[in-house]
Amino acid sequence: MSPAVWGLALAALLVLSRDWGCAQVAGTSGARKPSVVLILTDDQDVCLGGMTPLKKTSALIADMGISFSNAYVPSALCCPSRASILTGKYPHNHHVVNNTLEGNCSSKSWQKIQEPYTFPALLKSMCGYQTFFAGKYLNEYGAEDAGGIGHVPPGWSFWYALEKNSKYYNYTLSVNGKARRHGENYSADYLTDVLANMSLDFLEYKSNFEPFFMMISTPAPHSPWIPAPQYKKSFQNVSAPRNGNFNIHGKDKHWLIRQAKTPMTNSSIQFLDDAFRKRWQTLLSVDDLIEKLVKKLELLGELDNTYIFYTSDNGFHTGQFSLPIDKRQLYEFDIKVPLLVRGPGIKPNQTNKMLVANIDLGPTILDIAGFDINKTQMDGMSLLPLLRGDKNVTWRSDVLIEYQGEGHNSSDPTCPALGPGVTHCFPDCVCEDSYNNTYACVRTLSTSWDLQYCEFDDREVFVEVYNLTADPHQLTNIAKTIDQEILEKMNYRLMMLQSCSGATCRTPGVFDPGYRFDPRLMFSHGIWAHKLSTRSL
């Protein structure tokens, strides 16, 4: 047997020997399992036109596949959301609560308890996939107290991870555990383009015997919003949308929203308009990346057997309820994201209105690989039946949204009157977060209701409820006027979801026929527990 033939035989044997738990997916073409590409942007909204600059992406992914019009993140902040994507779990199960090491973002605990069981680790160890990561991982990745950039998480064959948070120039990459520093030369260092080139190189030189999974995590459109030189003059006449909740005072919302000054100062409006424009400019390079990637897959004959997912880690706001710029809030503009998918068996030009979440990505990709997702502890559901257009699919009617606020023990020098606990404050003393901006919500979408119910862990034990059918901009908090029975059921459902794990996160919601409500249990939690204890004092 010649060396070349022996090499081919050995490669095939290795694939077979590693393919322990993954069956071939019915309806897919070819002997090799489908490959998967996941493109993850950073802070890209969908409610405020975040997909508008991405003409090529829309044509190459959305028009050739399916767009999910109700895709949510369980926490509107980078690190918890990314941890949910990787683990398929809600934050209360993966325990990443904010962007700090203390909040479990890329901490030693995360590395020990969660990383070995992420879906890429299962793809590689159990399904024989070659795996490629490029871009932003978790915000504290590379921190000295967490192993530095020498730490390569299990599950990755090729690892090109950004040290810490999003940048466009002057950054360090971990290249399979070795530091590679980049400067500020556009042609060699602009991160979105570097990620595109690395991805094309992987596709060119990867093994042709194994299916592959690629995760490409761009800095755009996260701050500091530095566009490529050729796009610096794009969208000169564009400003942030003046939609129904722009520069509106949130009079019946939790205190952090109520403290925002309305109308906003001219300097704040100019700042957010400039940020909005630059965010769109940075996305034009992402659009170029998508075009190059799809063309390369087509050239290599891989496109027809590859699923391509496009989404963001959270939404963003620019002036809604007089908050200049950020995320972290419970409203649609922060928790709703784009989700586009094309691939084998997906019909073109589809829009799906089912309620989906980023905890579904891991189960979906494992399902594509043929792995039995019942063997995992993931909270999400496989989207594969929806992607294929299966009939009579039983689907959820609610998802959990949860966030633990950040805040400093000392007062912000620009906002001393607000006292300690606030953070991300603007010069005109509008603070975007605080330690008691801590909440949990049930986001419900059914044939009869489009509803959001939220409880805050603060002194007011504040409750916000919105009927998005009548009030899509969430202007009116109906917590005090909604039917008491619905309020009690939503409270009870929130209690169930906040303590759920795995299959129990997929039990029937309030407006599902199979829902069971035991009012005797609802007083053990949240606003109702507080009211009960207050009455007993």
Q: Regarding predicted confidence, which is higher, 417 or 537?
A: 417
Task: Categorize the per-residue pLDDT at 109 as very low, low, confident or very high, splitting at 50, 70 and 90.
Answer: very high
438's tokens: 């801590």
The H-or-E segment that residue 286 falls in is helix 266-299
Positions annotated as catalytic residues are 78
Rounded to a whole number of angstroms, the distance between the first and last alpha carbons of the chain is 86
Residue 499 has a pLDDT of 96
User: What percent of the chain is predicted at pLDDT more than 70?
Assistant: 92
- Residue 8, pLDDT > 90, answer no
Instruction: Name the β-bridge partners of 40.
Output: 217, 311
Residue 114 has a pLDDT of 98
Instruction: Find, among 483, 478, 486, the residue nearest to 511 by Cα.
Output: 486
Give the 3-state secondary structure of residue 525: coil
The answer to whether the CB of 57 falls within 8 A of the CB of 292 is no
Residue 522 has a pLDDT of 64
User: What is the per-residue pLDDT across 453-501, written as a single tens digit (0 to 9) for each?
Assistant: 999 999 899 999 999 999 999 999 999 999 999 999 999 999 999 999 9
Mean pLDDT of 217-232: 98
Residue 5 has a pLDDT of 35
d(C-alpha 406, C-alpha 434), whole Å: 5
Instruction: Find, among 256, 253, 259, the residue nearest to 434 by Cα.
Output: 256
Kindly report the length of the chain: 537
Mean pLDDT of 81-104: 97
d(C-alpha 516, C-alpha 492), whole Å: 10
The answer to whether the CB of 119 falls within 8 A of the CB of 366 is yes
Give the angle subtended at the CA of 49 by the CAs of 265 and 286, to the nearest 5°. Answer: 110
User: What is the per-residue pLDDT across 237-274, written as a single tens digit (0 to 9) for each?
Assistant: 999 999 999 999 999 999 999 999 999 999 999 999 99
d(C-alpha 516, C-alpha 64), whole Å: 40
| Domains along the sequence of the chain with CATH | 35-396 (3.40.720.10), 403-521 (no CATH)
The residue to which tokens 């024989």 are assigned: 128
- Residue 3, pLDDT > 50, answer no
Handedness of CA 255, 258, 259, 260 (dihedral sign): positive
d(C-alpha 256, C-alpha 436), whole Å: 9
Residue 524 has a pLDDT of 52
User: What is the per-residue pLDDT across 10-34, written as a single tens digit (0 to 9) for each?
Assistant: 333 334 334 447 876 555 555 799 9
The letter for the amino acid at 184 is E
Strand ranges of the sheet holding 398-403, from the earlier edge strand across to the other edge: 398-403, 439-445, 450-456, 463-467
Mean pLDDT of 317-331: 98
Instruction: Find, among 66, 82, 148, 68, the residue nearest to 114 by Cα.
Output: 82
Task: Categorize the per-residue pLDDT at 389 as very low, low, confident or very high, splitting at 50, 70 and 90.
Answer: very high
Give the 3-state secondary structure of residue 141: coil
d(C-alpha 500, C-alpha 234), whole Å: 46
502: alpha, beta or left, given left = phi > 0 and alpha = psi -120 to 50?
left
Mean pLDDT of 209-223: 98
Give the 3-state secondary structure of residue 317: strand
What pTM was computed for the model? 0.93
Strands 212-217 and 130-136: parallel
The answer to whether the CB of 362 falls within 8 A of the CB of 378 is yes
The H-or-E segment that residue 120 falls in is helix 119-127
Mean pLDDT of 371-383: 97
d(C-alpha 375, C-alpha 373), whole Å: 5
Mean pLDDT of 221-229: 98
Mean pLDDT of 45-61: 98
Task: Categorize the per-residue pLDDT at 385 as very low, low, confident or very high, splitting at 50, 70 and 90.
Answer: very high
The answer to whether the CB of 132 falls within 8 A of the CB of 158 is yes
Q: Where are the alpha helices (DSSP H) in 206-265?
A: 255-258
345: alpha, beta or left, given left = phi > 0 and alpha = psi -120 to 50?
left
d(C-alpha 23, C-alpha 436), whole Å: 47
The H-or-E segment that residue 340 falls in is strand 339-342
Round the average pLDDT of the chain to a whole number and report it: 92
Instruction: Find, among 275, 305, 142, 145, the residue nearest to 210 by Cα.
Output: 305
Backbone angles phi, psi at 500, to 5 degrees: -75, 160
Handedness of CA 102, 103, 105, 111 (dihedral sign): positive
